[in-house]
Chain A
Amino acid sequence: MPSVGQSLPHDSATGHVTGAARYIDDLPRLDRELCVDFVGSPVAAGRIRSLDLTAARQAPGVVCLLTYNDLGGPNHFGPIIPDEPFLAAEEVAYVGQPIVVIAAETAAAARKARELVVVDIEERKPILSIDEALHANSFIGPERHMVSPGAESDAAFEEAFRTAPHTLSGRFFSGGQEQFYFETQAAMSMRGESGDIRVISSTQNTTETQAVVAEALGLGMHQVVCECHRMGGGFGGKETQSAITAVMTALVAQKTGRPARLTLRRGDDMQITGKRHAYQTDYRVAFNSDGRLIAAQMAFYSNGGAFADLSTSVMERTMLHADNAYHVPMLRVTGQVCRTNLPPNTAFRGFGGPQGVALIESLLEDIAKVVGRDAFDVRRANLYRDGDDSRNVTHYGQIVRDHVMDETFDRLAASSSYRHRVAKVAEFNAASRTHVKGIAISSIKFGISFTTKFLNQANALVNVYTDGTVQVSTGGTEMGQGLYTKIQQIVADEFGLEPARVRVMATSSEKSNNTSPTAASAGADLNGMAAIDACRKITNRMRVYAAGLFASAERGLVAAPEHIVIDQGAVWDDRAPSHRLDFGQFCAMARRERVDIGARGFYATPGVDYNRETGRGNPFFYYTTGAAIAEVTIDRFTGELVFDRADLLMDIGRAINPGIDRGQVIGGFIQGVGWVTNEELRYNDAGHLLSTGPTTYKIPNITDTPRVFNVDFINNPKHQKNVRLSKAVGEPPLMLGVAVWLAAKNALQSLNGGEPVSLSIPATGEELLTRMTALVGQAVPDAAKVGCR
């Protein structure tokens, strides 16, 4: 029986539940291993006047303190624009920016030394907000534009706004979000006998870690190996920023010759690493009296932090998702990343998509309010229509095809009793003086592929051994998403083996070179296809060899590779199925006959091409789609929100592992719920993050999940591409979390007369109460005072 399609447990599940699965800090301590710590900038912006390391160097247990002067290579890196120093040299640009690396015999000694380093800084007033950056013209990269076909003419675009029955305009805010991977950034490094460096890193990106370490240390990439066995969560936060701990430990290993390890403390990790970008967006939208979109203009500004990191790419994805699942006949989008004195913001599951999706979903909620229709109907009317040339082209020119969005909406409405519940919510709101309810649907159409074309490639190494067992290595990293398990299933099926006979090896730059980060939801798509390519090279050779083995002049069987079957742990010729060779036995025979039963595979996603300059093309191989309906109850006195019910329906193709994919959908969704409800990053005026741990930064708790929670998948016979006809699942469900925020907005709208209600992301209790209080005389019956903020 094929294993693809079965819900095998995660390949590390036993290690997870027994505690045997090792993360960086759990690895055995090596002889003479050093503990690494660092000194970060105490201020958000300034110039380093002097650095006094004397006292720290003399402290007991301290082995060395290193600065940018100790780097063997250039002191800058960055995946897109190399504008970020490894260690601050003269300028500091955010609180906690690493300046000095400390190595000591114990963690306690390193920590004490940290307090003994004296950094004298001439402090400057930092730029923290998007508004401050706009005022100071502080930007990263150029402003980008996307204009939908048909919206090129200024005159026609303005005419659309002038003649439209309705228009809305305003400014929309969404806050940042901490990845909050459970294993903080961590790495350990060892120096080899020829000065080479081996880094074991909790990273989504072994190749970039290898490259960055090589560059910082002044080594060739061939002198650095980066391995990742697993991560205790990544969520995008370890796509680029895992480099920080890797470089620090590698530098110590290089300078001292001793193994070095660093696992960031939670507070340091939250203070110094980048997060999801906060956005501020100016918009206007024109629509007709039944809520159909006519034209929209959106000017996205993101808070990029001090250095470029992936911010321009994140902004690109925002712009590419400004439409979400809805056809906007005339759409103009601009995007500008702002340079501020916060840590460089970076990838986080969704990668800019959530910020674009949230805006248009918010607009549709407002539009429904203005035209007096149910927001579900307004959304459904605006969906991209499969096969309808007038309603299936995005603002960047890609045709949205082979989807089942209409069916998804209709099935979800029925399965969740949406109409009935809308009526019940209205009844409740009419009766209750203490609480208000809201219900809403949101959708997702998420483009799958890296928008940077060259990243859409992968390679894999498959080694078959003479007992018929298999090792697979790809550049894909395991962060909990079950990639290894899916690869295991795919490869097992290629050889017709029990999955237990296939083992996915730790990701290493030694086995897979020039790999892309495990990101963009495409880990299984790319690496699964590369693994298949390798497997087929092997099985093709096996077939040729087996054809000769099974050929028989007496029985009239000529050698015919196309008749060879490799399945069920055996090899046979389908014309003589009773004569079977055990797969292991066959492999041993193949080796003796000098048949190569190992191969490297390669895959490049076909048909993806996008021109960044013109804003046109086909950036995506396909789309993963879905929708969610959420219902919430809000306490009118406190703003406390209770998430009552969620119904999710997604098209994820044919799941390679339904159990794992279900986990991805639920986990991603709840992470999205966290972003729109209680996850709030609070900074002080000096740019210090105040919410630096779970005590003050509140990710969803088990009691925050809905009591009624239905998750289902819709069959899509039109989807006929991608590995084993599956679809990527990692990021898309996160954006369905927006439904909860929309339900809160829907609840607030019901307290207001004919006007839409503004609401920011996250809709914390404070945000909700403030907005309700502002709806004079509505929020709290007879309340005399209006809150201000």
Chain B
Amino acid sequence: MRNSLVFYVNGSRHEVRGEAAGLTLSDYLRGGCGSLQGDRLCGTKIACAEGDCGACTVLVGKPADDERSVVYQSIDACIAFVYQMDRRHVVTVEGLQDGDTLSPVQQAMIDCHGSQCGFCTPGFVMALQGLVEESEGDQPLEDETLRLGLSGNLCRCTGYSQILDAGKRLDPKRVASISKRYDTTAMLADFATLGDGPVRVNSRDTHLSNGHAPAAPPVDIFLPSTLDELLEHRAQHPDARLISGATDIGVQFNHGKVAPAALITTQTVRELNRLEVIDGQLVIGAATSWARIEAYTKNAIPAYHAILTRFGSPQVRHVGTLIGNLANASPIADSIPLHYVAQSTLELASIRGRREVPIEEFYLGYKQLDLQPDEVIVAVRTPLPKANVRLRLYKVSKRRDMDISTVTLAFWLEVEGDLCTAARIATGGVGPTVVRLPRAEESLVARPLTLEAMQTAGRIARDEIQPISDVRGGAEYRLQLVENLFAKCWHEVKGGEVFSGSK
């Protein structure tokens, strides 16, 4: 079994074992890439260490499915770990220019006064480069593409306008892809010779000096390549932490709240990287990133897709997974209400076998799951809504993008003519778990779907929840939101009044 990580940084091969394997990617880059004599790639900035500001944005290239090219996507280096970089090519802002020649993205940012204090700038440069990498065709990036694509990067100085100007000025025909700048063929060949087997590395305490150095990095890291390896290892190490995209554990790690002694990654397991429709059900594997789901649901479940663009940030969606969101079991997890009302099923597996659990039975209490120590979530199956289903999903947060929900709400209303024949409603942010609202649902069934009926149901819903006041909003506000969203839903479903504003 391979006992080191192999990846590239700006075209240079890195083979890592020991303490550096457990560092966050940003600490690794900024701290000299695992060596006291190494280059400190300090262009990758840390402003929040929470994956919330994007100053640490880097591009990570991974082999495409056919292993013939490398596909680059932006991620937040502050909440990614070195052990997630195996068989990847990390490109930092230092790796963008060619000798003394700046890349077109860098030049556009200069020409448009896209930087002021400059601290967030490398992150914007990398995010913009990532947008060009992802864009299809050679048309200039559109305003909306730029806004959504850069919504994972905060800037306190510029007010963004001149950064948008820089993005619009870019001529994608002139922006060379990273894969043309580096010899990715050689990298792919190198990865191929490494083979497909699992990787296991051990890391000890770190001795790097850095303002954001971690409290204690993990010790035993296992990267299975097959489901069998994963389950076998899981059975032997029930205390190990399962790592999917690490976008939440990365934050907790930086805050010194968690430092698991052992961990197992799921995204290295090929069988878990599933995304398909089978028998009217959308099947999403445990390793499937939000970004893939986002692209896939555009036609399959438009309501889901629309709200998905507001989950996390582009950087987070490039690595974060639905299963990670479900397993993390936050009451404000953006994805759970939909899966409640769609009556999704979770597929669990262990060396003892497989079983299926309806999602509502999966959550036993605050962060308590019906999941045995040796089990892992393999996939989630979600029935697609039929034509008579009115599916509306809501996420209310203080800020529209890159924010955590104050309240989430999902309506699954089945209608025949004017009558509501079935109703499933789930809401989050109003208690220790996401909850269904059975009395509100009952009040709607077998009745005409009128505004009055929805308002009544909304008032009933208020009595079915006991939200608390916290940093994201007061209890009364949450009650009012839940009540009001019923009427809002009616206006959008029946009133035909879908007003999106100019966003």
Using a CB–CB cutoff of 8 Å, the interface residues on chain A facing chain B are 7, 9-10, 12-23, 25-26, 28-29, 33, 35, 105-108, 111-112, 180-184, 186, 230-235, 261-267, 432-435, 479-482, 633, 635-638, 640, 642, 644-645, 659-660, 662-663, 666-671, 678, 680, 682, 690-691, 693-696, 698-705, 707-709, 711, 764-766, 769-770, 773, 780-785, 787-789
Contacts and interface: CB of A to CB of B under 8 A. Distances in A.
Of A7, A112, A183, chain B has the most CB atoms within 10 Å of the CB of A183
A686 B48 CA distance: 25
B256 A111 contact: yes
Contacts of A645: 502
Contacts of B122: 16-19
Nearest to B205: A108
Interface string B8-41: 0000000000000000000000100000000011
A690 B42 CA distance: 30
Interface string B41-71: 1111111111011010000000000000000
B45 A707 contact: no
Please provide the 4 A-B residue pairs with the shortest distance between their CB atoms, ordered closest to farther.
A19-B43, A480-B117, A16-B118, A232-B119
Given A9-B110, A637-B487, A663-B162, A232 B206 contact: no
B53 A182 contact: yes
Contacts of B477: 766, 769-770, 787
B445 interface: no
A691 B206 contact: no
B250 to A, nearest CB: 12
B218 to A, nearest CB: 14
B117 A231 contact: yes
A620 to B, nearest CB: 26
Nearest to B210: A107
A182 B47 contact: yes
Contact of A693 (B52, B396, B473, B481): B52
B333 interface: no
Contact of B117 (A7, A181, A670, A700): A181
Interface stretch (B150-158, B195-203, B221-229): B150-158
Contacts, number: 316
Nearest to A709: B161
A701 B402 contact: yes
Interface in B240-264: 251, 255-256
Contacts of A666: 158-162
A789 B476 contact: yes
A63 to B, nearest CB: 12
A660 B207 CA distance: 42
B503 A434 contact: no
Contacts of B158: 663, 666-667
Nearest to A684: B471
A682 B455 CA distance: 32
B119 A183 contact: yes
B463 to A, nearest CB: 11
B210 A25 contact: yes
Contacts of A667: 116, 156-159
B162 to A, nearest CB: 6
A480 B209 contact: no
Interface stretch (B186-194, B377-385, B493-501): B493-501
A28 B38 CA distance: 12
Contacts of A769: 477, 480-481, 484
Contacts of A235: 156
A279 to B, nearest CB: 21
A563 to B, nearest CB: 40
A184 B119 CA distance: 10
A715 B119 CA distance: 33
Nearest to B148: A703
B425 interface: no
A25 B30 CA distance: 9
B394 to A, nearest CB: 8
A292 B52 CA distance: 47
Contacts of B159: 663, 666-671, 700, 705
Contacts of B148: 703
A640 B499 contact: no
Given A232-B117, A479-B117, A703-B147, A182 B55 contact: yes
Contact of A638 (B154, B470, B485): B485
Interface residues of B, number: 107
Contacts of B480: 769-770, 773, 785, 787
Nearest to B479: A787
Contact of A682 (B46, B462, B471, B497): B471
Given A637-B488, A780-B487, A789-B474, A702 B160 contact: yes
A484 B204 CA distance: 45
B115 A701 contact: no
A278 to B, nearest CB: 17
Contacts of B398: 678, 680, 698, 764-766
Given A111-B256, A702-B160, A783-B455, A17 B474 contact: no
Interface string B146-188: 1110110111111111111000000000000000000000000
A61 B52 CA distance: 31
Nearest to A114: B256
A9 B109 CA distance: 10
A10 B154 contact: no
B400 A640 contact: yes
A434 B105 CA distance: 41
A633 B394 CA distance: 18
Nearest to A9: B110
Given A18-B94, A678-B398, A9 B42 contact: no
Interface string B120-163: 11100100000000000000000100111011011111111111
Given A701-B402, A782-B455, A480 B116 contact: yes
B371 interface: no
Contacts of B210: 25, 107
Nearest to A663: B113
B459 interface: yes
Contacts of A764: 398
A16 to B, nearest CB: 3
A468 B30 CA distance: 38
Given A764-B398, A789-B476, A480 B48 contact: no
A357 B9 CA distance: 51
Given A9-B110, A693-B50, A698-B403, A180 B156 contact: yes
B143 A707 contact: yes
Contacts of B111: 9
B399 A698 contact: yes
Interface in B433-465: 451-452, 455, 459, 462
A435 B476 CA distance: 21
A696 B255 CA distance: 14
A451 to B, nearest CB: 26
Name the residue among A7, A23, A107 with the largest chain B CB count within 10 angstroms.
A107
Given A180-B156, A788-B476, A694 B487 contact: no
Give the interface centre of A434, A479, A700 by most chain B CB atoms within 10 Å. A434
A180 to B, nearest CB: 5
Contacts of A186: 211
Contacts of B211: 25, 35, 107, 186, 261-265
Contact of B161 (A10, A182, A690, A705): A705
A35 B120 CA distance: 24
Contact of B399 (A105, A682, A701, A781): A701
B97 interface: yes
Contacts of B219: none
A642 B499 CA distance: 11
B472 interface: yes
Given A663-B157, A693-B52, A705-B161, 12 more contacts: A10-B110, A13-B113, A13-B115, A15-B118, A18-B97, A19-B42, A26-B30, A107-B212, A108-B216, A235-B156, A265-B212, A638-B488
Contact of B113 (A9, A184, A266): A9
A696 B472 contact: yes
A694 B53 contact: yes
